[in-house]
Structure formats: C-alpha cells, structure tokens
C-alpha cells in the first residue's frame, strides 16, 4: 500500500482499529436491526447501503456506544487490520506476536503517532526538557 493510499483511504480506519484494540474480522460485524435502520433514517443516513455494528466476541471493556459503519467502511476497517498485519510480517522475530494486541503495540512504534494517539497504544514519550540558567 503506498503512503498516499494509506493516508487518504485507510488512515482513519487505522486510528479506529487502534481505539478498538482488536482485529475487526467480518464475523464480528452484524447487520443492523429494522429498528436501528429506522433510527438511521431519522438521522438522514443513506439506507441504500447495508449498515453494521461490530461486536467483539470477548469484549475487554464496556462499550458505551455502538460503532455503526456501512459496508464500505467495514471493508476499510478490515483493510486497516490487513495493513497492520502486513507491517508486522516485516518484523523480526515473527514469534513476538502472540495476539493482535501485540501487533498493535508494535505497529504503534512503526507508524506516525497520529495513528495511535488517542488509544492505549500511544507512546508515552517524556518531553525533553532542559533547564537553562
């Protein structure tokens, strides 16, 4: 994936994946109920698209809001996860990644901080301060 494509098409999805903290896979996406579609209609959303929410199998934290995405956004989230997996394939040694969480920790060190900044994977850098007398 070239850097421009990363920034324009998948960049915001990578940020979402960092905030989710798990790999978005197709089996975690559930199409909205008719009642939820009615709510989307009230909000002026395009109902010609299929809409989904993502529900992790074993949530590690309470989710205060549902992530609602259309089919294209769901595919982009999976492309972002694919990019993170690809980034980790280049790392040595490969066995350091026991989970997708490990991959996110590694990816946060390899990508610009803007991608992980509002997630638990953001690097906690101590600002360099110097006392001048």
pLDDT digits (tens, 9 = 90+) for 16-41: 999 999 999 999 999 999 999 999 99
Q: If DSSP codes are grouped into helix, strand and coil, which group holds residue 125? A: coil
67 falls in which pLDDT band (50, 70, 90)? confident
Upstream peptide bond of 117 is cis (omega within 30 degrees of 0): no
* Residues pairing with 53 in the sheet: 30, 68
Average pLDDT of the residues of the chain:
85
Greater pLDDT, 94 or 49: 49
Q: Assess whether pLDDT exceeds 70 at residue 6.
A: no
Q: Assess whether pLDDT exceeds 80 at residue 53.
A: yes
Q: How far apart are CA 72 and CA 126, in angstroms?
A: 38
Contact 55, 27 (CB under 8 A): no
Distance of CA 33 to the CA centre of its chain: 24
Q: Tell me, what's the pLDDT at 77?
A: 95
């Amino acid at each position: 994936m070239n850097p421009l494509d990363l920034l324009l098409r998948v960049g915001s999805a990578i940020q979402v994946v960092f905030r989710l903290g798990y790999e978005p896979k197709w089996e975690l996406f559930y199409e909205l109920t008719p009642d939820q579609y009615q709510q989307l209609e009230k909000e002026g959303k395009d109902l010609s698209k299929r809409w989904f929410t993502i529900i992790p199998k074993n949530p590690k934290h309470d989710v205060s809001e549902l992530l609602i995405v259309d089919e294209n956004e769901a595919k982009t989230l999976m492309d972002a996860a694919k990019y993170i997996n690809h980034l980790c394939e280049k790392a040595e040694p490969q066995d350091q990644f026991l989970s997708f969480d490990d991959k996110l920790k590694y990816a946060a060190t390899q990508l610009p901080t803007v991608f992980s900044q509002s997630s638990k994977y953001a690097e906690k850098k101590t600002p360099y301060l110097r006392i001048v007398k």
